[in-house]
Amino acid sequence: MDNLARLVSTVSRRTFRAEGHVFAVTPERVGLAEGVRAAVAMAPMLIAALLLARPEVALGAVAAFWNCLCDPQGEKSDRLKTMGTFTVLGVVVLPLAAYLASWGYPASLATLFALVFLCGLTRSYNASLGPMPTQAGLIASLAVVIGIALARPWAGALELGGYFLIGSLWTMLFCVFLWPIPFRQSGNLTLATIFGRLEVMAGFLQERNSLPGTEIAGWEGFDTVHRRGVRMSIERGRALAALDTCNGSRLGAFIDAAGRIFSALIAFGHARRMSEVPMGARSRSLLQGLQQLLATLGAHALLDRPLPEAVVAQSKALLHQCAGQEDGEARALTFAMSAIVRLADGATAPVEAAAEAAAAAGQGSGGIAPLVWRHALRVAVATVLAFVIGTRLNVALAYWGALAAIIVTQPISANTWLRVLERASGSLIGGVIAAGLLATLAGPGAMVFAILPLAAAAIASRLVSYGLFVVFLCPMFMLISDFIHPAGGLIAARFVNEVIGAVVGVAASFLLWPERGSDALAAATSAAISANMKFASEALRQRSGSAATLDRLQREAGLASTRLEAARERMLLEGRWRSASLERLREVIVALRSVCGAAAVLEVLREGEPSASDRQRADGYEAMTAQLLQALASRTTWPVSAAQPAVAANDDLGQAIRSFATAVNAYASGQA
């Protein structure tokens, strides 16, 4: 396990820049055991199809694979609900599509449109922290297309539904009850990722030894890329702790400690940026010691054993070296080392708040949101169009193009481009693998034994990267298709259908009721301003020891800034806004990160009660924030001096607030 933790920690150091993007790579989500379990779940149906010489029985193996894709992990009740929802949807739509498709081509098109649309209405599009388990509605819409391709009279359609039901029920029984996999491995790999990225963050600070103003681009990277990568990995860890009933408390304690170290590094970086002298030898030595501690933590399976004695001893030694030092850098490092030492006491962290947040994130607001029904309609149109193009051009296996259209079409057009690129690159590599297998496999038996490891690899990588997932999915799907319905020219058919699906998906995203990126950007801008300024105000108001409140507000501020960065980058990809406007927004984001950093310094270094002037400043910042948000909402132009803090202050936070107000004024003036 330690070797796997080291590997994941190493990979995560090189993939943190992808955080916040649709092509995010999350190496800590690799599920080796889940992959093996999925292959074992599929095996009985494939072997039965082979022994009975009834290839259509393999449809049960497809249902097993799809159920594993939908499996959200966590509590048995949640897993049964999600997998049961997919099973019910699939058992209804697949035989219904197969039966209605037997009525003729027009009936096939009408059925395809109606059922894909209805499946789309069951989907949701909440913000996520990276790749998530596939939703039941998406997979059910794929089952509709498979049903259309396997047109049968009523008895034959029911037979297909029966195979699907058997495969689904067996998978639920096997995965949920017979082979439940604990979260310990996922928790260990999550901690390896978090501490590995914290080490990278500390290493970045080691390299920043020049005077202020000489490395502006570097500090901006620290404020955006580095902080975004660590923040999102920490929040994924909190979501995992909320689901883990066995290890959640211990995992939560490590994640809380990582959050405090993160705050300390932000405070240290802010102090370095504001310093007028190069980093001293003592600070450099202490920071190097912290970096070594983080490297050690990232290389161990921390949930499997007590905290290594060497880590505890080194933390206490570094704390002793910091004793009596009152400068900001030493106090920030003291804050970090104290968090590590507390872990040695075996402290646990409550996960109720995280569980409530996870539950709230998964709940809808009641009714069908406009985004949901518009996208369901968009996907239904794209699916039918791709199927019509493929069939009219006499493309072999034309339903593959419809499947591709469903998968690549995203609510936001820029995300569709990125999904097409990921799918294209994955399909290219997967197609090469498939070509080699199809040319060398001797018969159906060999094909079955090739399908199973590919399925295991696909499930193991499903939450790591979509592109990597497609590398294994593509040859697996092609082999299963050839097993159920042998056909020639599979490689060419795959290529042509992928092109059709990609072109139709991109066109649908841009032309059919496109989501207004400017509205999403405006909402993300307001949310980021509100969250960061709330953290700054409360950092002034809260007395020392109010860690829980300030930690929550800092998390919200960091996530809001990350969502704003992602929204801005999507607008750049869509090319629908002037680059000058988005450049000014980038300056707002950098200024917000600076405000958050200055507030983190207050959280780390504050002692005693807040003063009356601090509370007055907090009130002034809240009033200024309200003015900024109102002006942004109404797209009003105002003089630059109109939205400045009412109470002037010359400390780091005061300077950061003034710079932020100036950046927002410049951005808003350009929008009016």
- Residue 129 above 70 pLDDT? no
Give phi and psi for 183, each to the nearest 5.
-85, 0
DSSP 8-state secondary structure symbol assigned to residue 327: S
Nearest to 473 by CA among 441, 419, 427, 437: 427
Please give the pLDDT value at position 616.
Answer: 87
Give residue 364's pLDDT: 45
For residue 596, give the nearest of 529, 645, 548 by alpha carbon.
Answer: 529
Across the range 530-553, mean pLDDT stands at 81
Q: What is the dihedral of CA 295, 300, 303, 304, to 10 degrees?
A: -160
Q: What is the pLDDT of residue 105?
A: 96
Name the band, by pLDDT with cuts 50, 70 and 90, for residue 235.
confident
CA distances from 64 to 91, 98, 398 (A): 13, 19, 24
User: Cα separation of 651 and 286, whole Å?
Assistant: 25
**SS3 state at 251:** helix
Q: What angle do CA 62, 64, 67 make, to 5 degrees?
A: 110
End-to-end CA distance of the chain: 56
Question: Residue 615 in contact with residue 540, Cβ under 8 Å?
Answer: yes
Element (H, E) at 581: helix 579-605
Stronger pLDDT, 17 or 564, i.e. the higher one = 564
Distances (CA, A) of 48 to 29, 165, 488, 575: 32, 15, 24, 52
Instruction: State whether the Cα torsion 454-455-458-459 is positive or negative.
Output: negative
Rounded Cα distance, 545 and 541, in Å = 12
Q: What's the DSSP call for residue 647?
A: S
**Residue with tokens 């809260």, as numbered in its chain:** 542
Q: Calculate the average pLDDT of the chain.
A: 83
Rg (CA), the chain: 27
Q: Which of 1.20.58, 1.10.287, 1.10.3470, 1.10.10 would CATH assign to domain 184-355? A: 1.20.58
Cα–Cα distance list, 233 to 24, 163, 174, 193, 650 (Å) = 11, 40, 31, 7, 34
Rounded to whole angstroms, the Cα distance separating 455 from 89 reads 22
**How far from 344 is each of 303, 499, 533, 558, CA to CA, in Å?**
13, 56, 35, 28
Residue extents of the structural domains in the chain: 54-181, 184-355, 365-515, 517-671
Count Cβ neighbours within 10 Å for each residue of 632-667 and write b for 16 or more, e otherwise.
beeeeeeeeeebbbebebeebbbebbbbbbbbbbeb
pTM: 0.82
Grade residue 352 by pLDDT with cuts at 50, 70 and 90. Answer: very low
- Rounded to an integer, the average pLDDT of 479-499 is 88
Q: What is the mean pLDDT of residues 320-325?
A: 79
Residue 125 has pLDDT above 70, yes or no: yes
Stronger pLDDT, 166 or 255, i.e. the higher one: 166
Rounded-to-integer distance, Cα 61 and Cα 359, Å: 31
Amino acid 306: pLDDT:
81
> pLDDT tens across 176-200, in order?
999 988 777 888 888 999 999 999 9
Which pLDDT score, from 0 to 100, does residue 355 have?
45
User: What token pair was written down for 338?
Assistant: 């104290």
Query: Which of 331, 340, 339, 419 is CA-nearest to residue 379?
Result: 419
Out of 154-158, 275-279, 663-667, pick the least confident.
275-279
Q: Tell me the H-state helices in 441-543.
A: 444-461, 466-484, 490-511, 517-541
pLDDT digits (tens, 9 = 90+) for 152-173: 999 999 999 999 999 999 999 9
Stretch 280-290: mean pLDDT: 87
